[in-house]
């Protein structure tokens, strides 16, 4: 018994060495069964210019032994030029490992998981920064109408088609049985190694509120959360832009955006964690029965490029 316990610790230590530093923040979270499928929901209208969409995701609470849904929300960027890389679950070493989201000058790897609304699996197709002003691609983003938007709205369906990974089964994890099969691109790898900011304190509070709402847990909602997204934007938190190289000084072909440097202050993604697990503590994988065993083979990048639906903003419609 002692031998197997030691072997497990050695395996997890080696696994930690393989996970990029930007993907975790002092807490190694692994779960023995897959997260539920991603719910289909309508993106709330962006209430005002300058807000960034952060898609909803399944987080995990060890005390409850269950996944809970953190609703999608509009969030002010922590600095001009910041883009959000969503968190994701990846199959590694026989368990599902959590990779935290972060802010940075470019969108990094998020497992190829198609969250919709611009996060189609590769990069970000929902908009770009233009000289300190964020412009929205209304082909996939649900923005308001009327005054105040000016040149903040444009339509580009080509980038949506080019960066969409078909995920008709709404799988919420990368790799493993039935998971998304998308290795990181060169641009995604480069973005993973840049300086990042952790989620803002308002994002942390938002996730903690979901953790304390029993209706958010899959055992209560059957994998179909009632509040998949919130319409009220989260609070603003200002930071100086992290220092970064000049790669992609203008918007690249993934619309990862240009960043204006607002100072030399750097914030590590190892700050401000938004999970229930305590800091710097290893958690072994719960030995629950795996879910979704009947899922079909991983979906590959769609080469036929189905046209996104502009009129319908449902999460599943843009897949």
Which structural domain, as residue segments, surrounds residue 72? Answer: 1-319
List Cα–Cα distances, 247 to 41, 154, 156, 191, 258, in angstroms.
35, 24, 23, 9, 9
pLDDT beyond 60 at 168: yes
Q: Please report which confidence band the pLDDT of residue 147 belongs to, taking 50, 70 and 90 as the band edges.
A: low
Taking the alpha carbons of 241, 243, 248, 252 in that order, is the dihedral positive or negative?
A: negative
Q: What is the mean pLDDT of the segment spanning 293-303?
A: 39
Q: DSSP letters of 107-124?
A: ----TT---BTTBSBSS-
Within its chain, how far is the Cα of 89 from the centroid?
10
Tokens representing residue 196 in the block: 């990042």
Q: Sign of torsion, CA 282 288 289 295?
A: negative
Residue 168 DSSP class: T
pTM of the model: 0.70
Average pLDDT over residues 118-133: 93
In the predicted structure, residue 26 carries a pLDDT above the cut 50: no
Residue 157 pLDDT exceeds 80 = yes
Residue 42's pLDDT is 93
The sheet carrying 173-174 orders its strands as: 30-31, 95-99, 88-92, 173-174
Number of domains the chain contains: 1
pLDDT higher than 50, residue 71: yes
Distance CA 74, CA 57 (A): 14
**Of the listed ranges 159-168, 182-191, 238-247, the one predicted with least confidence:** 238-247
pLDDT value of position 27? 58
What average pLDDT does range 1-23 have in this prediction? 41
Residues facing residue 314 across a β-bridge:
42
């Amino acid at each position: 018994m002692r031998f197997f316990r030691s072997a497990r610790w050695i395996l997890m230590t080696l696994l930690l060495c393989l996970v990029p530093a930007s993907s975790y923040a002092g807490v190694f979270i692994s779960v023995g069964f897959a997260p539920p499928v991603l719910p289909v929901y309508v993106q709330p209208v962006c209430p005002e210019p300058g807000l960034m969409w952060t898609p909803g995701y399944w987080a995990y609470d060890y005390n409850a032994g269950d996944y809970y849904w953190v609703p999608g929300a509009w969030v002010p960027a922590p600095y001009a030029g910041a883009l959000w890389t969503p968190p994701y679950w990846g199959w590694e070493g026989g368990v599902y490992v959590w990779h935290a989201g972060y802010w940075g000058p470019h969108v990094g790897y998020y497992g190829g998981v198609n969250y919709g609304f611009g996060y189609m699996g590769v990069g970000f197709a929902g908009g770009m920064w233009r000289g300190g002003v964020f412009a929205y691609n209304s082909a996939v983003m649900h923005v308001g109408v009327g005054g105040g938007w000016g040149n903040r709205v444009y339509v580009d369906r080509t980038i949506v088609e080019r960066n969409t990974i078909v995920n008709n089964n709404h799988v919420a994890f990368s790799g493993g049985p039935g998971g998304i099969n998308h290795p990181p691109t060169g641009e995604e790898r480069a973005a993973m190694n840049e300086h990042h900011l952790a989620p803002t304190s308002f994002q942390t509070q938002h996730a903690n509120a979901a953790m304390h709402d029993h209706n958010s847990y899959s055992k209560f909602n059957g994998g179909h959360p009632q509040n998949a997204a919130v319409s009220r934007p989260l609070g603003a938190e200002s930071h100086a832009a992290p220092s970064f190289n000049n790669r992609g000084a203008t918007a690249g072909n993934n619309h990862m955006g240009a960043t204006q440097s607002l100072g030399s202050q750097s914030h590590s993604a190892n700050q401000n964690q938004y999970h229930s697990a305590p800091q710097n503590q290893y958690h072994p994988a719960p030995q629950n029965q795996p879910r979704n065993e009947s899922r079909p083979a991983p979906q590959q990048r769609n080469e036929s490029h189905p046209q996104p639906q502009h009129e319908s903003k449902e999460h599943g419609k843009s897949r």
